[in-house]
Homo-oligomer: A and B are copies of this chain.
């Protein structure tokens, strides 16, 4: 045992590791700003393209700037042939495993891969943001034996994703739901995946290392996996009248309701409010209002917990939206990842700007100075 008395900071709860100008979270009242702008405004008035311009360049673009930026995104949607081949070779894997691998492979074909300047990192972040939907949609089609669909330059980022996934141009209102979903997932401070990306950047590893790390960390069910689980729960509940008892039984059995609770928020996650409205409207429009009703009943049954700070989070209503848009459930986390790549990029740029190795300590509590016994005497 060590002689040292140390204070353990398990989970790094409320340990501030640096300053940021990227996003502000007030967990007590449920407020989220990107670069000072409220996500309530951005999700209703902006587009994903404009929002990530704001995140990356720290200002809202003029129309000319946005057009140029949009052109850059569109120009980077195609994947190198080798990446398509790797997707084919790994098509049986989970979509997040395929995305992680494909991002890693893209380093091979990135001429600026080792350039950690602010400018090059931003450029590479834009490229990866543009490439990710093509990876996810291509994989989703290939594994079903369908031909991949080439990106369509007449469509925006979200609409083009749905087009590449389904092979037909989406309804504008459906595309707008995914656009808003991407906006709401774009950045969220130093969540675990962004933290992982910063740990990579802290060793001066490049953006492809950092984004590969981001995807790897996001795959964990405690981080990106809840949307899928929430929708599974809704399907399991099956009808609104059963929701309250289901929640009671689940909690009585020691289970937890997925899509509830967050390390930072003690109030309702402000992102979930927009997604809630979207899930309700979409359900009505598609003639399937029951999933929303079930989820709303779950939130009602959870009210005693919500009053104690365990509230619905970003994942609670997003799964219903994806489900109603016919997106396969194992793609839900990948949609989160597609939206978050700009946030990872911004976090990495901040880390590079004022870099320091992220290297904490562990307290050793094992035996000391054990004598090595030769193998024939064991």
| Structural contact, A18 and B24, CB atoms closer than 8 A | no
Question: Of B10, B20, B114, which contacts A18 at CB under 8 A?
Answer: B10
Binary flags per residue of A243-272, CB closer than 8 Å to B gives 1, else 0? 000000000000000000001100000000
Q: Is A326 an interface residue (CB 8 A)?
A: no
| Structural contact, A219 and B223, CB atoms closer than 8 A | no
| Structural contact, A362 and B217, CB atoms closer than 8 A | no
| Structural contact, B203 and A365, CB atoms closer than 8 A | no
What bracket does the count of chain A residues touching chain B fall in? Answer: 35 or more
Which of A123-131, A145-153, A184-192, A288-296 forms part of the interface with chain B? Answer: A184-192
* B-side contacts of A206, CB under 8 Å: 219
Q: Is A82 an interface residue (CB 8 A)?
A: yes
Min C-beta distance of A69 to chain B, whole Å: 12
**Chain A 343-374 interface residues, beta-carbon cutoff 8 Å to B:** 356-370, 372-374
Q: Is A107 an interface residue (CB 8 A)?
A: yes
Which of A88-96, A156-164, A174-182 forms part of the interface with chain B? Answer: A88-96
Which of A31-39, A71-79, A302-310 forms part of the interface with chain B? Answer: A31-39
With A24-B2, A360-B17, A373-B60 as given contacts, are A220 and B196 in contact (CB-CB < 8 Å)?
no
Which of A41-49, A276-284, A312-320, A334-342 forms part of the interface with chain B? Answer: A41-49
| Structural contact, B108 and A92, CB atoms closer than 8 A | yes
Binary flags per residue of A186-229, CB closer than 8 Å to B gives 1, else 0? 00011111011001111111101110110011111111110000
Q: Is A12 an interface residue (CB 8 A)?
A: yes
**Chain A 1-31 interface residues, beta-carbon cutoff 8 Å to B:** 2, 6-25
Complex Cα–Cα for A358 and B24 (A):
19
* B-side contacts of A193, CB under 8 Å: 203
Kindly report which residue of chain B lies nearest to residue A84, judged by CB atoms.
B89
Complex Cα–Cα for A369 and B26 (A):
12
| Structural contact, A16 and B100, CB atoms closer than 8 A | no
Question: Of B6, B86, B205, which contacts A220 at CB under 8 A?
Answer: B205
Complex Cα–Cα for A113 and B94 (A):
10
Complex Cα–Cα for A318 and B216 (A):
30
Q: Is A375 an interface residue (CB 8 A)?
A: yes
Question: Of B13, B101, B218, B364, which contacts A101 at CB under 8 A?
Answer: B101
Q: Is A66 an interface residue (CB 8 A)?
A: yes
Min C-beta distance of A37 to chain B, whole Å: 5
Question: Of B208, B364, B375, which contacts A66 at CB under 8 A?
Answer: B375
Complex Cα–Cα for A94 and B41 (A):
43
Question: Contacts A11-B202, A11-B357 given; 9 further ones with Cβ under 8 A?
Answer: A15-B15, A18-B363, A20-B366, A33-B369, A46-B372, A60-B375, A100-B107, A104-B104, A209-B217
Cβ contacts A to B, 30 pairs, < 8 Å: A10-B18, A12-B360, A16-B361, A17-B362, A20-B363, A20-B364, A21-B364, A21-B365, A22-B362, A33-B370, A38-B372, A45-B372, A60-B373, A90-B108, A92-B108, A94-B107, A191-B359, A192-B203, A196-B199, A196-B200, A196-B213, A200-B217, A203-B222, A205-B217, A205-B220, A205-B223, A212-B216, A223-B357, A264-B359, A264-B361
